[in-house]
Amino acid sequence: MSFTLKPAIKDNFIDREPLLDEMITTLTNRKIDMGFALIGPRRVGKTSILREITHRLANRKDVVVVYFCLWDLVENNLREFSRQLIKTLLVGFRGRISVKYKLKRLLQVPVETIYEFLKATGISLRILDEIEIELRRKDRPLDANMLVERIFALTEELGREYRVRVILIIDEFPSLIDLTNGKKLGEGVIRKIRTVHETLENTVLCISGSIRKTMEIVALSSSSAFYRQFIIKRIEPFDELLSGQLLEKNLKRRITSSAIEAAYNLTKGIPFYLQLLGRQLERTDVEPINKEVIERVFEEILTEEGDIIFSEEFYRLSDRERATLRAMAGMEKSKLNEISRRLEEGANVVSKYLAYLIIKGMVRKEERGVYKIADPVFSSWLKEKFR
Ligand SMILES: Nc1ncnc2c1ncn2[C@@H]1O[C@H](COP(=O)(O)OP(=O)(O)OP(=O)(O)O)[C@@H](O)[C@H]1O
Ligand SMILES: [Mg+2]
């Protein structure tokens, strides 16, 4: 048990039990063919939930869970995606293949060898061959539809062969749209997966995504490809009680209730920032930890780590988008006319910048003419940096 900035699993994972129960019960029930779509802001704990489920189901005989994250890809293209997804799928079956053929040795060999082995045993041979031939092509963009079909066919066949249900988890699913294959794949790939998805018998799909707008395009709005095909779960930050639990569990010192309240107000219960705060608190030795310590440590985090966490995303924006965010920094809510006055630009122009920022998940519209920066700590960092 310790503070961590990586996805939290096992001892580091707290709460979310009702959700985990529901997901595990549903996903392992062969009679239900719906998977889950997790949607929530950045750093709220989506990956942790998916990884914890993967961990809890790892020893079950009747399912194979395959966790795959699009943000882990080194190259953002369809070829790399297909290769890595197939690898991950085969790794998921590694234990079973070796059990079935009594080849313990296989557990230690590289994935390519398993691939070869699998082909040699005749399992899914035709499908793997087809995929491999396609992936080797360099003369034209790959046939995305064919690859999607074949990859799912492979999943289905492996499930059938080993009599298991395959739970395929794709984290940051909307990023599929941005994979390149000559040009960006676009929404066509989502529609293709949807068509294939309807025919699956041994595979259940779970997805997650952070940027609200893109998840909407993919799964939420009534015009989206996957509308009503997933059980949708919105992942919320922790409340004050849980925020306190997370801190108390890992700190081996007393912490006052007003300190917990301050920690909650500064982080709004977003687990990543609580972890960051906890890690920084471990470098102090005051006891009990009080409100003043929390506020001082939070300031330190903003100056020492804020740039590392936020700069890249911030400087990728256009000049005007950045100016808009600066005009909103540190405020709980901002009125459109107020932002427009600060920027000395017309409200209709500023609305456009805001619309882009909403699509990028950085701003939320609270009500007509009222906006806020989605991430409270990002907002504090901006205020601190540009004051
Ligand atoms: N249930 C939990 N218990 C303890 N810590 C958690 C929990 N969920 C998330 N965290 C912590 O919060 C941080 C972010 O978690 P995670 O990566 O799972 O979020 P995410 O929503 O997938 O973020 P991103 O938008 O960056 O993909 C990590 O430091 C993780 O350890
Ligand atoms: Mg994640």
Q: Which domains does the chain have, with CATH numbers?
A: 10-234 (3.40.50.300), 240-385 (1.10.10.10)
- Residue written as token pair 């699956």: 200
- Stretches in the chain below the pLDDT threshold 50: 102-104, 106
**Ligand 1 centroid to 235 CA: how many Å?**
11
C-alpha–C-alpha distance, residues 373 and 323, integer Å: 13
Q: What is the pLDDT of residue 249?
A: 93
**Ligand 2 centroid to 19 CA: how many Å?**
17
Q: What is the pLDDT of residue 114?
A: 65
Does 67 sit in the ligand 1 pocket, CB within 6 Å? Answer: no
The answer to whether 2 and 281 are in contact (CB under 8 A) is no
Q: Whose CA is nearest to atom 17 of ligand 1?
A: 7
CA angle 162, 168, 173 (to 5 degrees): 160
Does 14 sit in the ligand 1 pocket, CB within 6 Å? Answer: yes
C-alpha–C-alpha distance, residues 202 and 124, integer Å: 15
Q: What is the pLDDT of residue 102?
A: 47
| Dihedrals phi, psi of 232, to nearest 5 degrees | -90, 130
Indicate the angle between helix axes 78-100 and 111-121, nearest 10 degrees: 70
Does 5 sit in the ligand 1 pocket, CB within 6 Å? Answer: yes
Does 43 sit in the ligand 1 pocket, CB within 6 Å? Answer: yes
Radius of gyration of the chain (CA): 23
The one-letter amino acid at 346: G
